[in-house]
Amino acid sequence: MKKDKSTIQEIEDVLQEIGDKIEELVKKGEEAGKEAKVEIDKKLSELRESKTTLEEELKKGKDLLEKEYRSTREQLDPRLEESKDHLVEGIKQIGLALRALFLK
């Protein structure tokens, strides 16, 4: 009987040791979780700042592109209108030339 008691005592001691180790691991996990959360929050903040910076740069680039487009369009519009007028006049002249050719 004494031998059984010591075996049971050994099992209880081992189980108690396992329980202590589990509690220790849980505490370390909580500490690591807090540290990880701090790191994750830090990374998220950095990403948010980068996003804001990228959005600002994108807006600046878009504004610059629109400004250049408007400037180029303002320069080309009179030339395009003039070319359109020349094209219409050229088509009229071809039409008159064909009419004169076929009416003879």
Distance of CA 97 to the CA centre of its chain: 61
Is this structure's pTM higher than 0.75? no
Give dist(CA 104, CA 101) in Å, integer: 6
**What are the structure tokens assigned to 4, written together?**
């059984």
State yes or no: pLDDT of 3 exceeds 60. Answer: no
Q: Read off the pLDDT of each residue in 5-17 and give the average, rounded to a whole number.
A: 81
Specify the residue for token string 């009416």: 103
The 10 Å Cβ neighbour count of residue 4 is 8
State yes or no: pLDDT of 37 exceeds 80. Answer: no
- From residue 43, give the alpha-carbon distance in Å to each of 30, 56, 81: 20, 20, 55
